Amino acid sequence: MNLIRRHLPELTKHVSDTPSPMVYTRELVLKKCPDAKTVFIGPCVAKRGEAREKGVDYVLSFEELGSIFSGRGIDVAACEPWPVPRPANPSARNFARSCGVTEAVLAEAMSKTPSFKLDAKRIDGIDCKSCSLLKLYAEGKLKANFLEVMSCPGGCVNGPVSLN
């Protein structure tokens, strides 16, 4: 979003207004517990800026969470599994992986309109070449009816503070 706002504002009208999973989860939590503090844990440093804009209270990287667990002597592998009350839709599980958003959009569109044709393209990682491609899409020189852009190669799951 920052790239589009700063360098390709003509594409802003084409950017989805669907909340990110972080923001959507915040909304769900606050409906149930209006006084709750919300914390996002993930591999993306850009979430810190989004959190400030969207009212998420705290953002931790996986590494930071691991340090907290280590400092408190918590062995996650030894903990009892927590039952997930509402498992994610299978197409949503890959949302943070490259092509995952495209798969989720296609699954949703096909469920409503089986004859829907998706001409999806993707940008997997932001660099000079991908910025040039985005400019070509903005100018209408490259065609697609859906463009997935992941800042990190491989998607959010490969963010700069992910654990290997």
Mean pLDDT over residues 11-24, rounded? 87
Cβ–Cβ < 8 Å for 80, 88: no
The two tokens of residue 34 are: 């209006």
Q: Give residue for tokens 């100018």.
A: 139
pLDDT band at 162 (very low <50, low <70, confident <90, very high): confident
Q: In this model, does residue 116 exceed pLDDT 70?
A: yes
Segment 78-96 mean pLDDT: 84
- Tens of pLDDT, residue by residue over 20-70, are 889 999 999 999 999 999 999 988 888 999 999 999 999 999 889 999 999
What does the block give as tokens for 11? 């594409």
Q: In this structure, what are the phi and psi dihedrals at residue 39, rounded to the nearest 5 degrees?
A: -130, 125
Residue type, 98: S
Average pLDDT over residues 152-160: 88
Say which amino acid occupies 111. Answer: S
- What three-state secondary structure class fits 61? strand
Decide if 136 contacts 142 (C-beta within 8 A).
yes
Residue 164 has pLDDT above 70, yes or no: no
Cβ(104)–Cβ(118) under 8 Å? Answer: no
User: Could you tell me the two tokens for 66?
Assistant: 């691991």
In sequence order, what DSSP letters do the residues of 126-155 get, joined into one string?
-SHHHHHHHHHHHTTSS--SEEEEESSTT-
What is the end-to-end Cα distance of the chain in Å, rounded? 26
Average the pLDDT over 119-134 and give the result: 91
- What mean pLDDT is reported for the chain? 89
